Amino acid sequence: MVEKSRPQILVTGAAGALAQQVISRLRDTCNLVAVDFREQVYLGDDIPSYCIDFNKRSFEDLFRRYRFDGVIHLGRIMSSQLTRMRRYNANVLGTQKLLDLSHKYNIKRVVVLSTFHVYGAVAYNPALIDEEAPLKSAGLSADLIDSVELENLANIYLWRYPDLNITILRPCNIVGPGVRNSISTLLGMERAPVLAGFSPMMQFIHIDDMADAIVLAYNKPQRGIFNVAPQDWVAYQHALKLCGCGRIPVPSIPPILPRMILRTLNLRSFPSYLMHFFKYPVVIDGRAFAREFGFTPRRPLKEIFRFYRENKKPV
Amino acid sequence: MGLASILKSRLIPAELENHINRIRKPIGSLGYDPWGYNNEVMKYGFSLTRQIYEKYFRVEATGVDKIPSEGPVLIVPNHSGQLPVDGLLIAYALASREKNPRIPRAMIERFFPTVPYLGNLLNEFGAVLGDPTNCAKMLANGEAVIVFPEGIRGSGKLYQDRYQLKRFGNGFMHLAMKYKAPIVPVGVVGCEETIPAIANIKPLARWLGIPYAPVAMPFVLPAKVHLNFGDPMVFDDLEIPEEQVTERVEQVKAAISELIDTGLSERKRLF
């Protein structure tokens, strides 16, 4: 029997380090169900865990069986993973299915994880980008379209179905132990590529702080879109230096040259379509989220970089 | 490390370091602010600019104390001389003043962020992409911001048009009104003579993707520069039609024009 006093929450992307951090924070007070479309992960006997494709009909059975109160949707396939079409199917169509089912089964709270990549790295970006700023990344590369589409979709549901109480979070670079995204891989390398002469300002949030932010967001049913970033900034090449990374400069002009080089190398951690993020800054303003949800990140940049410096050789 | 600290002690004397540290900037734990300003790099920039300011252009600045010691303020000069030397000199004048020094932020052309090395370096010295959002956020942060309302129309003008003010955009006035920032007009005299250009090869500029391609000598002449700072001009934030905003812009333009005339009359020789 399910205890009614404890909220039932569906957490997607359970195989990821972030979801596991969120789960560990909520498992004492909530009944959790974990799903992932990549692999089935064991999270203890008290948390049912499934490997399931959101686009399959059997996904609805979970909603019937567990009667969720809320959904924390962290299961995004990152731009460095899988093919463009599979990403689109999982991120956009999968999310649509998830939101449709959430509406059908009267879910009262949905938190969707997006990314700051949606703003796009453009030379003319101002710093401290607000949530109202246009999403330019779709114009930069077809590989980032699914990120923007996912947001558009979540936005439509946000306004069409206010009862879902959707909150979309756009975090800056999430880094820290266990994180497998491209920036975390770069910081962990012995030598990392840089675009010669470009060292854009970046923001980093520790995975533990991000998990705190998601839990804070879930617990306060405040609809809307929020950037999540600490009030601290560092230039990319300086960050590499602090992580003990050597720098391999990639020729940066004319712009066609780095694109050709990166396409030829086809590096997972430094793909050509993310090239602009290593050239122009995308500095977001996280103050609205901090104010609204009382969020204060606790891990300073120095601590984040020390972790990468001391863990160059993974066990 | 040894060499770096020796170089630093040579280039940045203790009194300069103290001077910069005295100016409290809103920066993060690693010395950066959101626009890329870096306190440590700034010290090198300051040390280098001191030589350019004092020895090369032998700048005479009058009335720099008229810039308020705190709070948002827009510093509005005339723009000239192909390169943004005028912005650099005004910034140094304010940063080096004895009483209440401030490190102002200069709004720069949209072309600079695309230039490798230089774009980042300018950001580290406090220059910021000339975007209204940037200017608004910095005024909200209580910064002193240098704006050239003439933009490239001013910096790219030919020697024959020297000391003629080009059209001013209205954007700076809207921001000054919204953020209740006083406007300090500045008349810059001398920068027109640093790189006198006789023509602008527009097709070449288009091809290279740069704002203008002047026909000029390939070096910067050591013209003596006079900076005349005017009294702060305060404008209310009432909702007024664009025509009246333009009138206010014209008042600022007239004030700058007057300051230029003062500078020109004070100037004894070009170099």
Digit-coded pLDDT (tens) for A211-231: 999 999 999 999 999 999 999
Residues of chain B contacting residue A283, judged by C-beta atoms under 8 Å apart: 34-35
Give the 3-state DSSP-derived string for chain A, with helices as H, strands as E and coil as C: CCCCCCCEEEEECCCCHHHHHHHHHHCCCCEEEEEECCCCCCCCCCCCEEECCCCCCHHHHHHHHHCCCEEEECCCCCCCCCCHHHHHHHHHHHHHHHHHHHHHCCCCEEEEECCHHHHCCCCCCCCCECCCCCCCHHHHCHHHHHHHHHHHHHHHHHHHCHHHCEEEEEECEEECCCCCCHHHHHHHCCEEEEECCCCCEECEEEHHHHHHHHHHHHHCCCCEEEEECCCCCEEHHHHHHHCCCEEEEECCCCCHHHHHHHHHHCCCCCCHHHHHHHCCCCCECCHHHHHHHCCCCCCCHHHHHHHHHHCCCCC
Which pLDDT does position B1 carry in this prediction?
Answer: 57
Q: How far apart are CA B219 and CA B242, in angstroms?
A: 42
- Alpha-carbon distance of B22 to B149, in angstroms, equals 30
Domain ranges of chain B: 2-25+38-266
Which chain B residue has its CA at the smallest distance from A203's CA? B34
With an 8 Å Cβ cutoff, are B131 and A253 in contact?
no
Predicted confidence band of residue A79 (pLDDT cuts 50, 70, 90): low
- Using CA atoms, how far residue B104 sits from A297, B6, B131, B179, B181, in Å, is 29, 29, 16, 16, 14
Amino acid identity, residue B125? Answer: F
Contacts of B39 in chain A (CB under 8 A): none
Q: List the single best residue of A119, A132, A136, A233 to mutate versus B (max B Cβ within 10 A).
A: A233
Question: Helix or strand or coil: residue B143?
Answer: coil
Q: What is the pLDDT of residue B132?
A: 92
Smallest Cβ distance to A302: which of B29, B33, B114?
B29
Average pLDDT (A283-288) is: 96
Which residue's entry shows tokens 């003010």? B165
Are B120 and A197 within 8 A, CB to CB? Answer: yes
Q: Does A233 touch chain B (CB under 8 A)?
A: yes
pLDDT at residue number A193? 94
Residue A171 has pLDDT above 90, yes or no: yes
Is A194 at the interface with chain B, CB within 8 A? no
Q: Determine contact, residues A143/A79, Cβ cutoff 8 Å.
A: yes
User: Exposure of A1 by Cβ count < 10 A (0-12 exposed, 13-18 middle, 19+ buried)?
Assistant: exposed
Across the range A51-66, mean pLDDT stands at 92
| Burial (CB count <10 Å: 0-12, 13-18, 19+), residue A85 | exposed
pLDDT tens, residue by residue, A7-48? 999 999 999 999 999 999 999 999 999 999 888 899 999 999
Beta carbons within 8 Å of B240's beta carbon, 6+ residues apart: none
Given a contact cutoff of 8 angstroms between Cβ atoms, the answer to whether A209 and A179 are in contact is: no
User: Could you give the CA distance from residue A218 to residue A112 in angstroms, rounded to a whole number?
Assistant: 10
Take residue A267 and report the two structure tokens written for it: 């590096």
- Separation of alpha carbons A308 and A188, rounded Å: 5
User: Residue B243 in 3-state DSSP?
Assistant: helix
CB within 8 Å: B128 and A127:
yes
Structure tokens at B166: 């080009």
Cβ B38–A235 below 8 Å, yes or no?
Answer: yes
Which residues of B are less than 8 Å from A202 in CB distance?
none
- pLDDT at A266 (0 to 100): 84
In chain B, residues with a C-beta closer than 8 Å to the C-beta of A253 are 116
Query: pLDDT of B206-240, one tens digit each?
Result: 888 788 889 888 888 999 999 999 999 999 999 99
Nearest CA in chain B to A194: B116
Res B177: pLDDT? 96
Asked whether residue A293 carries a pLDDT value surpassing 90, the answer given is yes
- Whether residue A1 is predicted with pLDDT greater than 70 in this model: the reply is no
- DSSP element (H, E) containing B215: strand B214-216
Q: What percent of chain A has pLDDT over 70?
A: 97
Q: Is residue A313's pLDDT more than 70?
A: no
Residue A3 has pLDDT above 70, yes or no: no
Residue A254: cis peptide before it, omega within 30 degrees of 0: yes
Confidence of residue A314 (pLDDT cuts 50, 70, 90): low
Q: Please state which CATH number belongs to domain B2-25+38-266.
A: 3.40.1130.10
Q: Which domains does chain A have, with CATH numbers?
A: 8-176+203-234+282-299 (3.40.50.720)
Residues of B in contact with A127 (CB under 8 A): 34-36, 128, 134, 137
Q: Per-residue pLDDT for A190 more than 90?
A: yes
| pTM assigned to the model | 0.91
From chain A, pick out residues whose CB is under 8 angstroms from the CB of B38.
Answer: 235
Interface test with B, best of A122, A136, A201 (most B CBs within 10 A): A201
Which has more confidence, B19 or A165? Answer: A165
| pLDDT at residue B249, as a whole number | 96
User: Could you tell me the CA-to-CA distances from A26 to A37, A113, A130 in Å, in that order?
Assistant: 21, 17, 30
What chain A residue is nearest to B133 in terms of C-alpha separation?
A: A126
Low-confidence ranges of chain B (pLDDT < 70): 1
Residue A39: the pLDDT is 85
Residue of A222, A181, A202 lying closest to A277 (CA atoms): A202
